[in-house]
Structure 1
Amino acid sequence: MKRGEVIRYGVIGTGMMGVEHIENINALDEAVVTAVSDTNADSRARGVQAADGEVAAFEDHVDLLDSKLCDAVVIATPNFTHVDVLADVLQRPVHVLIEKPLCTTVEDCERILALAADRPDGVVTWMAMEYRYMPAVAALVEHVHDGAVGQPRMVAIREHRFPFLQKVGDWNRFSENTGGTLVEKTCHYFDLMNLVLRERPVRVMASGAQDVNHLDEEYDGRTPDILDNAFVIVDYPSGARALLDLCMFAEATDEQEEMSVVGARGKVEARMPSNTVHLGRRGEHFIGNVEKSTAGDDRITYQGLHHGSSLIEHVEFAEAIRTGGQPAVTLDDGYWAVAMGAAAHRSIDLGRPVELSEIMQRDDDREAVR
């Protein structure tokens, strides 16, 4: 598309995240939501209300795709529907941004990768991983890739937060619908590990449980089965290792998310929601005496639910559409993040480390992450 042309967006799935995408698209220049679809009438109505201007509404996403009203679509449907909705989208020459997780199973991800291989050049297929664009995280990644800490040896990510929110039809209360907490929630963090280390992992070890949340709930005679806390260790070919510390009954906290990377030269930390970055160089700084700064991005004109990161993701998605550029986050990135979460769940179930080669058919694809 030429600069100055308005990109017409369709949003498939207009629950909480779908509306979040609509509000971010509204904040873009030369962009408009022209169509929404959702199988739930109330959600569909909220999508229409959120869109800025006239918008067509469809119950079936196929009708939206066949309407020819959209140059690009965003998929924000429940996790378990991603594989079928995305399969329909990939058969049409429309740009697409797919919400995380790519799919709920490794097998479904591999089906999608096979379909996407036939996409025409210039049609952008973008994996939504907005945590990459949180200003503090982006600053941390830049410091690491610029060599501030030397070769990274250890990555640690901690999220201590509130329980899962309620979704339409309570679909997110069961692992069969979400892929499990370590796929649904923490695929973001597995993607950040791969991004900062610029390599793909070889094995995962995990311990986790459902100890507190949702145990008093019941749906059609069933109690939710989603984990609410876990430790996950990830090993990489270079010898680097990463740790995830997740607790979803820890909202009584100061910072919700903290990420640190340590190498022989020093340590860098990102903290959210304060959006602060702490950088210490060995030999120059010591405990309690490091460089501290607040990260920002002048492109953020709408904060939304993720510190403005969703808007930056959309800015870059739109730029790729206009220039015919490559996606900054690929379906392969999404595939690896799902596989790492699936391996973590398998490790918990089996009580042992799990090699990625046990569950991935494409495990030979360990090229460096951009």
Structure 2
Amino acid sequence: MAGAIVKYGIIGVGMMGREHLVNLYHLRTQGVAVVAIADPHLPSQQLALDLAHSFTWPLKVFSGHQELLDSGLCDVLVVSTPNMTHHRILMDIINHSKPHHVLVEKPLCTTISHCKEVVNAARKRPDILVQVGLEYRYMPPVAKLIEIVKGGNLGHVKMVAIREHRFPFLVKVNNWNRFNINSGGTLVEKCCHFFDLMRLFVGANPVRVMASGAIDVNHKDEVYDGKVPDIIDNAYVIVEFDNGSRGMLDLCMFAEGSKNEQEISVVGDIGKGEAFVPESVVQFGTREAGRDGVQTLKAEDHRIKYDGLHHGSSYLEHLNFLSAIRAKGEKAPSVDLQDGLISVAMGVAAQLSIEYGRFVSIQEVMNECKI
């Protein structure tokens, strides 16, 4: 595809699908074009068409993903449909006779068994690249902190603490995100991002998870088809890794009065680093230099042409994936299916830990043992 226009299709053009559409428009100088969308929801279709019209991009519209696949119009597909639909759509894409590279929104799937099915099917298709949309890795302050950690500036990482204090879940089409059965649960749906970052910072795999969480404030007065939402709105999660490191997540989704939505702290045996979003500030220092030696940096990435909803990370995610596609198999996606699987496993273990009031091991979750 080097030098040729790379033709994209977007499956699911709700809020996030349209965000991908705008990001890809800002990548048009890199030789990309969105040529088709698929979504059964007519209002979402129309909003996407209005956007594309403003870009002077003609779009072929399909009501379902299978029709888009069979059209043969696309080289790359972006899957940004509700979480519970990822498995079926991914399996249909991977098993289709025409190869399509895929960027799938997080979480990969809502269950371990479905994630495994996708991973195993993709292994049989070396002609297809699949990247998972864990785009927090690309946020400039987070990327800078990753660089500091990987450069050895903090020594051996021992502790990672991530605080997300934010607003409640947004309203989605048919309110699908109000129920665990659809989303996988808050700690899968929302927090797979942070479990992925923990694993990246410590350079190790999770062993067991302990969590405490509840529905304390949000959505308690909402009823959909006679059912009250069951998604938790706050939690503490502790993760132990196989190299002895530990991670901790502090999640609160009724904390609109926060200066920063995410605060990430990484502590090694010789130093500490912190990243703040959306302030886009990074601080780091060593034990030896102490408080007076702490450096403060403003994190920026001048490649970003569109900040969007995620501080430019979606733009960089697409830029990275396009590079892997154009490398024709010589470059793997930076966030692969194994990363997607393990981030979901950590979230599933956390959800189960809350339910059963004990540590849950990653092995028993991956083996799908009776808990």
What corresponds to 1:20 in structure 2? 19
Structure 1 Cα separation of the partners of residues 245 and 219 of structure 2: 36
**Match for residue 341 of structure 2 among 324, 335, 340:** 335
Structure 1 Cα separation of the partners of residues 246 and 220 of structure 2: 33
**Match for residue 206 of structure 2 among 201, 207, 212:** 201
What corresponds to 2:314 in structure 1? 310
Give the AA of the match of 1:21.
H
What corresponds to 2:354 in structure 1? 348
What corresponds to 1:225 in structure 2? 230
Structure 2 Cα separation of the partners of residues 207 and 27 of structure 1: 41
What corresponds to 1:104 in structure 2? 110
What corresponds to 1:246 in structure 2? 251
| Runs of 5+ unmatched residues, structure 2 | none
What corresponds to 1:284 in structure 2? 289
Deviation for aligned residue 1:17: 0.3
Q: 1:7-65 CA distances to partner (integer Å, 9 max, x unpaired)?
A: 10000000000000000000112110000000101111112222331010000111001
**Match for residue 215 of structure 1 among 220, 226, 245:** 220
User: Taking structure 2 as the reference length, what is the TM-score of the superposition?
Assistant: 0.95
Q: Tell me, yes or no, if the aligned pair for 2:286 and 2:293 is still in contact at 8 Å.
A: no
**Match for residue 67 of structure 1 among 71, 76, 85:** 71
Deviation for aligned residue 1:120: 2.5
1:202 alignment partner, SS class: strand
Q: Is structure 2 residue 274 aligned with structure 1 residue 275?
A: no
Structure 1 Cα separation of the partners of residues 125 and 368 of structure 2: 19
**How many pairs does the alignment contain?**
360
Structure 2 Cα separation of the partners of residues 114 and 237 of structure 1: 24
What corresponds to 1:320 in structure 2? 324
**Match for residue 144 of structure 2 among 139, 144, 150:** 139
Deviation for aligned residue 1:281: 1.0
| Runs of 5+ unmatched residues, structure 1 | 364-370
Deviation for aligned residue 1:285: 2.7
Give the AA of the match of 2:13.
T
What corresponds to 1:35 in structure 2? 36
1:305 alignment partner, SS class: helix
User: Taking structure 1 as the reference length, what is the TM-score of the superposition?
Assistant: 0.96
2:285 alignment partner, SS class: strand
Deviation for aligned residue 1:361: 3.2
Q: 1:168-222 CA distances to partner (integer Å, 9 max, x unpaired)?
A: 1000111100000000000000000111112110000000000000001111111
Within-5 A mapping of 1:148-167: 148-167=153-172
Give the AA of the match of 1:34.
V
1:340 alignment partner, SS class: helix
Give the AA of the match of 1:23.
V
